[in-house]
Structure 1
Amino acid sequence: MMKFRTTAAPKALIMAVAPTAMAMMAISCRPVGAQELEREFIDPAGVFTQVVTVADRGIKTIYVSGQVGRGDDLAGHVETAFQSVVRRLESAGASTSDVV
């Protein structure tokens, strides 16, 4: 049976090098010529917003999240959640026909 000896030196080396390596990877992942996108937070309540729009080069993307259903049964939950999504899309100037 082979025995492996562990020392603190490799762990210390990894701990010393890891932050620098991660920072270099993050910098190298940024696209050349990256620009700040135009964002709009619609009706932010507190810390979170349920609708965010991002516009870039004439294209508008709408992100909707956090929609929950209410009701006594599954059908009620689905219906109210869907109605909430429709309202959020409309607040961003879109409709269900814009969803892909």
Structure 2
Amino acid sequence: MSGGWHLYLLRCRDGSLYAGIATDVERRFRQHAAGKGAKYTRAHPPECVLGSRRYPDRGSALRAECTLKRQPKARKLAWLLDGADAAQAGASQPS
């Protein structure tokens, strides 16, 4: 999954989820697994990549990541299944 920017979702060994962005999701997963990724994944080692979605540029991937990270776990998992853009994930949620 290289080319362009991707928002990806990892499942960690403790069952928690981690969202991040990368241009190469497989390479980034290997970094996380080696303990060289984000601080969160150093404390919560990743188990697998649950899925990812491509975005046209870094800015849109960052905005989608920010929105997705604020969602509850069930909504993050639903994002993988329903195909909704993460930037729209919170649009139907009350403020």
With the shorter chain as reference, the TM-score category is under 0.3
Which structure has more RCO (C-alpha within 8 Å, separation ≥ 6)?
Answer: 2
Point out the structure with the larger strand share. 2
TM (normalized to structure 1)?
Answer: 0.22
